Amino acid sequence: MRYFYIFLIILLMPIYAMAEIIPRTIYAITPIDLTYKTLAENQHISLYAIGDDAYAHQDIGIKNHEEIKIKIIEYIEPKRGKRDGYYKIEYEYEGINIPGKMKVSTPKDFKDIIEKTGVSIVGHVLKFPGFSQAIAVSKGLINPDEDKSRLKTAGENLYESTPLTYAEKGKHFEVEEDGIVVIKLRIRDNGDNK
């Protein structure tokens, strides 16, 4: 029984160590165009935090509408599975380098999310394989995109509704001036951010 408890403690130690990390998500506006071609490693850039006053990050020295200075560490290329490229960054606060990453903020289309969820639930309930693909083709035939034929729109919708689209790579990091980026910092409870 004693060995069981020792094994359990050893098993739970990594979970306890991970619980100390507090992720912080900060949205910021870029004052200039930022692309994967123009940003270099070890370059320092300035961004401006946005959000309402209730979402302030004063515990790490970031107040809303205040300048954030970060250091670019490296660029991670886009990967298959539609994973977009992002930057590994460091934010210095009181002599501590806080690691994190910076990526492009993409607006969510809630109408599309609700529609896809409903179609997949109905397809699962009816036990009809390919139900979402049939809906996508019919949408393309009924409402074709501008400057495209009905068959071409139906074919593109069919491709987008299949798992084959996940073989594509994601997008490179590109943000226009006054664009929004997402900064995710990994902060430890005990202040040791190494």
Same domain, residue pair 56 and 151:
no
Tokens of residue 151, six digits: 């068959």
Please list the residues that pair with 75 across neighbouring strands. 87
Q: How far is CA 137 from CA 54, 122, 145, 155, 158, in A?
A: 45, 16, 13, 7, 6
27 and 100 within one domain = yes
| Tokens matching residue 110 | 């809630």
* Residues 62, 85, 76: CA angle, nearest 5 degrees: 85
Indicate whether 194 belongs to any domain. no
Question: How would you write the pLDDT of the chain (194 residues) with one tens digit per residue?
Answer: 778 878 777 766 665 555 455 567 888 888 888 888 888 888 889 888 886 554 455 556 677 777 888 899 999 998 888 788 899 999 887 777 888 898 888 777 778 778 878 887 887 777 777 888 888 888 888 888 888 888 898 888 888 888 777 777 888 888 888 888 888 887 765 555 55
Same domain, 73 and 9: yes
Q: Domain range holding 9?
A: 2-107+170-188
Do 142 and 114 have their domain in common?
A: yes
Statement to judge: residues 39 and 93 lie in one domain = yes
pLDDT at 15: 53
52-63 burial, b at 16+ Cβ within 10 Å, e below that, comes to: eeeeebeebebe
Q: Interior CA angle at 185 toward 189 and 114, to 5°?
A: 115
Which of 123-158 are b and which e, b meaning 16 or more Cβ less than 10 Å from the residue's Cβ?
Answer: beeeeeeebbbebbbebbeeebeeeeeeeebbeebb
Whether residue 150 sits in one domain with residue 114: yes
Tens digits of residue pLDDT in 129-176: 788 888 888 888 888 888 888 889 888 888 888 877 777 788 888 888
CA distance 191 to 156: 50
**DSSP secondary structure code for residue 32 in this structure:** S
The pLDDT of residue 74 is: 92
Q: Say how many domains are in the chain.
A: 2
The pLDDT value given to residue 12? 66
For residue 126, give both structure tokens. Answer: 């009816």
